Amino acid sequence: MRIRKILTLALAMMLVLGLVAGCAQSSATTTAAAGETTTAAAAETTTAAAAPAEKIKVGVIYISPKNDGGWSQAHADGFAAAVAAVGADKIDLKEIENVNDADAQQTETALNQLVADGCQIVFATSFGYMETTAKVASENPDVKFEHCSGYMSADNFANYFAQIEQPRFLAGIVAGRMTKSNTIGYVAAMQIPEVYRGINAFTLGVRSVNPDAVVKVTWTNTWFNPQLEKEAAISLIDSGADVLAQHQDSTAVQQAAQEKGVFGIGYDNPMYSEAIKDAYLTAPVFKWGAYYEQRLAAMLDSSWTTGAYWGGMNDGVVALDTMTALVPADVQTEVNALVDTMKAKGNDFVFAGPINDNTGAERVAAGSSLSADDQFAMDWFVEGVVEAK
Amino acid sequence: MRLRIAKKETAGGWRAAAIRIISVLVALLFSGLIMAAMGFDPIAAYLAIAKGSFGSARGLINTVTVAIPLLIVALGLSISFSMRFWNIGGEGQMVMGAIFATYAAHQLPETTPAVLYWVTMALAAMIGGGLYALIPGLFRAYSGTNETLFTLMLNYVAIKVAVFLRLVLWKDPAAKGFPQIKAIPEAAHLPKIFGVHIGWIIALVVTVFVAIYLKYTKRGYETRVVGESERTAHYAGINVRRVLVGGVALSGAIVGLAGFAKLSGVSHVLSESIGGGNGFSAVIVAWLAQLNAPVMILIALLFAAMEQGAMGMELALKIPVSVSDVIKGLILFSALASEFFISYHVVIEKGPRALLRQYRRSGRKELQADTPEGEDQA
């Protein structure tokens, strides 16, 4: 017993020593941060300028695994493509996966870790990272930050997103043509404007070709939870849906569709695989490489500035995945015929009036389109959307 | 040959310590094998974990930050555990603490001095966590309800309450349609000392309090007696119900304090994820530390280091962070196994065939049937 006590004491002592040493070290860095680090950082920049062979460190945090087949994979593939495009010898990519965006502490420690690792620019690729990223950005004015899908920004903090509503509308046409029960299920993540926009764009697409169809929405309150996503999908199928769409980051909804013998429309990333070959029709997908390439190139020639990017199909950052053979040729032709119009008119085409909400009130008058601000703050459903109980 | 499990009379200090250390090494060895099988260099991976968690000022700050709520929750739970009240509801009690603290922060006028903010929020958090733990505590004390399931289920209730507050009741109208709760005012944020928010001081104070409470106070003694045997406690004249209910409330109050520390120190915005899994990880921390408060500091730091180091590991070697979950799981598994080997030992007994062989080798004509099996070995 006594030995155990001594051991405990020794361990506790070690710990205290470690703490003291660590604190001394950290306070040293904090003091240095006041003056000396600035010069050190400046010196570093000059050497970087003098020797362009120096790699730029780029940090990324993902909400789920990089190979989730959905949201994070779309970002990871985008970075891989961008790095290949600007030169793999110029970029050192530092990635952390599985950072919970609802846990500010985890987000903050991950961002700090990337900053400590020497990243000159850090990309935070989920909505929930926004406020923590803004905070870390304000604490690290020498590092640049970019946040995907939010609305905050600062001199060293840009936000970016893509108008996925355009391919969503096209996917809606596919769903509207494929449904026999006129009930389309939609597994949705969070009750935020981004998701409302997606549901509404999809439904407007559905109703443009099939005014009798309804879109039934189930909320999961999570971006990534394959099991919950699948359960939600199955409950929608049980309530009569014969085509499923999703605003979720995994392929679970597609698997449920395959198992239950209905059709599925994916999201984020081309999701086709042998395992879902009888269900998968197409998906609105992100092509982040197009955006990341611009931003990394801007880092390399020091022309990076903050901003709020919102690209569409015309910019190549979003697209409708190649439709599979399950989609009849005439439907494919119908959808493809709209692509050029979509590229030319963008979200003005998607949200062109007249649009009524699902209580029957008019939201957009004929002849006008929903303003960008109203799209960003969308918290209502268009006609044809039903919330599953 | 036959294996028999026998209870050891005493668990020797050195032996127990050695077994525990070996168990961690075995876990690291197996994790290393798994990593090697995945094509990663395990030595480099462990070095990356150490470097990521303790190797730099930033890493250390992160590690301590992660350890703070984990430690406070473990300390709170240990009071329940020492009464054999299986409080698996740390997550919910922490969320409740944060909910009450958020409410308190928004009730105070904006001009409130910082210290008053902290004290009010801390008290509110303790009341929230304490009251929430009191529910299963009262049920257990007065109707013998199974507290394990009860506390576990209450986690989900608390989380859903937080979701409800975020989506409906406390939805911030200024957040452009995004359903989130208004951040607590700047003055309510905990300041940083040595780069870490002062939650670490709260955690150390709570450590000292719990250590003294359980070891040196009358109530702490009664708590432990109730844990040993409620009947004994009853015959000794201890009011078991009062000790149980009071202990559980205190336990929940401390866990609730962790909710305040994380809210005020790091998150600043209440969300249903404020628990961050601490309620569950802390169960492991408390048990690995054998409910010994000072040892919990070490274990909590180790767990935090593993989480933090895993990020360093992914940055340096591109090993997925989930590998650290595998390591954590293996360490827990080995730790449980080591507790088994500390309390029991395995005896190899000689079966009839071995006895027969021995008999033949010895060349004796008769088999001494009355020799107890394997006595010379035990």
pLDDT tens across A331-362, in order?
999 999 999 999 999 999 999 989 999 999 99
- Among the partner-chain residues B13, B60, B297, the one whose CB lies closest to the CB of A22 is B60
- Say whether pLDDT at B8 is over 50: yes
The DSSP 8-state label assigned to residue B81 in this structure reads: H
Q: In this predicted model, which residue has the larger pLDDT, B371 or A386?
A: A386
Yes or no: say if B62 and B124 are a contact pair by the CB < 8 Å rule: no
Instruction: Walk me through the domains of chain B, giving residue ranges and CATH numbers.
Output: 62-313 (1.10.3470)
CB spacing of A193 vs B167 below 8 angstroms: no
Q: Is the pLDDT of residue A4 over 80?
A: no
Beta-carbon pairs below 8 A across chains A and B:
134
Based on the structure, what is the number of domains in chain A? Answer: 2
CA distance B166 to B95: 13
Record: contact B176-A151, CB cut-off 8 A: yes
Residue A279 exposure: Cα atoms within 13 Å on the Cβ side: 27
Measured between CA atoms, how close is B302 to chain A, in angstroms?
11
A303 in any annotated domain: yes
d(CA B92, CA B162): 10
Q: Do A26 and B57 touch (CB under 8 A)?
A: yes
Partners of A105 on chain B (C-beta within 8 Å) are 65-66, 69, 262, 266-267, 276
Query: Considering chain A, what is the average pLDDT of its residues?
Result: 87
Nearest CA to B283 out of B16, B21, B91 is that of: B91
Question: How far is Cα A144 from Cα B63, in angstroms, rounded to an integer?
Answer: 24
Average pLDDT over residues B356-378: 57
Q: What is the pTM (predicted TM-score) of this model?
A: 0.77
Distance CA A18, CA B14 (A): 24
Please state which of the ranges A20-34, A99-113, B6-20 shows the lowest mean pLDDT: A20-34
Q: Which two tokens stand for residue A179?
A: 């449904």
Q: Which of B59, B178, B320 sits opposite A192 (nearest CB)?
A: B178
**Whether pLDDT at B66 is above 90:** yes
- Chain A nearest-CA distance from B351, in A, is 37
Q: Are residues A224 and A129 in the same domain?
A: no
pLDDT tens readout for residues B71-86: 999 999 999 999 999 9
Q: Is the per-residue pLDDT at B59 higher than 70?
A: yes
Residue of A113, A122, A126 to mutate when probing chain B, most B C-beta within 10 A: A113
- The mean pLDDT value of chain B amounts to 87
Quick one: A175 and A245 in the same domain? yes
Contact A7 B17 (CB under 8 A): yes
Strands A284-286 and A318-320: antiparallel
Does A10 map to a domain? no
Nearest chain A residue to B313 by CA: give it: A96
In a domain, A370, yes or no: yes
- Looking at the fold, whether A232 and A378 belong to one and the same domain comes out as yes
Rounded Cα–Cα distance for residues A115 and B132 (Å): 39
Do A179 and A127 sit in the same domain of this protein?
no
- Regarding whether A102 and A120 lie in a shared domain, the answer is yes
Q: How many residues does chain B have?
A: 378
Token digits of residue B377? 């070995």
Q: B177, A378: Cβ pair inside 8 Å?
A: yes
Residue among A8, A192, A193 whose CB faces B292 most closely: A8
Reply yes or no on whether the pLDDT at A109 is more than 70. yes
A242 falls within a domain: yes
- Min Cα separation A322/chain B (Å): 31
Mark yes or no for CB contact B13/A7 under 8 Å: yes
| Residue position matching structure tokens 């850090």 | A122
Nearest Cβ partner for A96 among B163, B268, B311: B311
Taking contacts as CB-CB distances below 8 angstroms, the residues of chain B near A98 are: 320-322
β-bridge mates for residue B115, sequence order: none
CA of A2: which chain B residue's CA is closest? B13
Q: Which residues, 6+ apart, have CB-to-CB distance to A369 below 8 Å?
A: A347, A348, A349, A351, A352, A353
On whether both A275 and A293 belong to a single domain, the answer is no
Does residue A33 have a pLDDT over 60? no
| Interface contact flag, B62 A30, Cβ < 8 Å | no
- Strand pairing partners for B3? B348
> What gap in Å lies between CA B205 and CA B68, rounded to an integer?
12
Q: What is the CATH number of the domain that holds A199?
A: 3.40.50.2300
- Domain span at residue A374 reads 165-283+321-387
Of B163, B194, B267, the CB nearest to A104: B267
**Looking at this protein, which amino acid is placed at residue A364?**
V
Decide if A73 is inside a domain: yes
d(CA A259, CA A279) in angstroms, rounded, equals: 9
Q: Is residue A329 part of a domain?
A: yes
CB contact under 8 A, A12 and B183: no
Regarding whether A256 and A188 lie in a shared domain, the answer is yes
**pLDDT tens string A356-366:** 999 999 999 99
Query: Is residue A29, in this structure, part of any structural domain at all?
Result: no
Both A93 and A144 in a single domain?
yes
Contact A355, A201 (CB under 8 A): no
Residues B320, A65: C-beta atoms closer than 8 Å:
yes
Does the pLDDT value for residue B5 go beyond 50?
A: yes
pLDDT at residue A51, rounded to an integer: 46
Does A152 share its domain with A171? no
Tell me which residue in B65, B183, B269 faces A109 most closely, judged by beta carbons: B65
Task: Return all residues near B258 (Cβ < 8 A) that are at least 6 apart.
Answer: B68, B69, B72, B73, B76, B94, B97, B278
* Residues of chain A positioned with their CB less than 8 A from the CB of B59: 113, 116
| pLDDT higher than threshold 50 for residue A50 | no
Question: Complex ipTM, two decimals?
Answer: 0.72
DSSP reduced 3-state for B111:
coil
- Asked if residues B125 and B256 have their Cβ atoms less than 8 Å apart, the reply is yes
The verdict on A120 and A252 lying in the same domain is no
- pLDDT one-digit tens code per residue, A295-332: 999 999 999 999 999 999 999 999 999 999 999 999 99
Radius of gyration of chain A (CA): 24
Mean pLDDT of B200-227: 93
A228 and A303 housed in the same domain: no
Q: In the predicted model, is pLDDT for residue B146 greater than 70? A: yes
> Minimal Cα–Cα distance from A19 to chain B, Å?
9
Search chain B and give the residue with CA nearest A378: B177
Same domain, A182 and A62: no
Predicted pLDDT of residue B355:
73
| Tokens (6 digits) for A209 | 């070709």
Asked whether the beta carbons of A202 and A385 are under 8 A apart, the reply is: no
- Give the residue from chain A lying closest to B69, CA to CA: A105
d(CA B303, CA B282): 9
- Tell if the CB–CB gap between B298 and A221 is shorter than 8 Å: no
Q: Helices (DSSP H) in B177-292: which residue ranges? A: 199-216, 218-228, 230-235, 240-262, 278-288
Q: What is the DSSP letter of B274?
A: T
Three-class SS of chain A: CHHHHHHHHHHHHHHHHHHHHHHHHHHHHHHHHHCHHHHHHHHHHHHHHHCCCCCEEEEEECCCCCCCCCHHHHHHHHHHHHHHHHCCCCEEEEEECCCCCCCHHHHHHHHHHHHHCCCCEEEECCHHHHHHHHHHHHHCCCCEEEEECCCCCECCEEEEEECCHHHHHHHHHHHHHHCCCCEEEEEECCCCHHHHHHHHHHHHHHHHHCCCCEEEEEECCCCCCHHHHHHHHHHHHHCCCCEEEEECCCCHHHHHHHHHCCEEECCECCCCCHHHCCCEEECEEECCHHHHHHHHHHHHCCCCCCCEEEECHHHCCEEECCCCCCCCHHHHHHHHHHHHHHHHHCHHHHCECCEEECCCCEEECCCCECCHHHHHCCCCCECCEEECC
What is the per-residue pLDDT for A18? Answer: 46
3-state secondary structure of B149: helix
Q: Which residues of A touch B58 (CB under 8 A)?
A: 26, 29, 112-113, 115-116
Closest CA of chain B from A274, distance in Å? 25
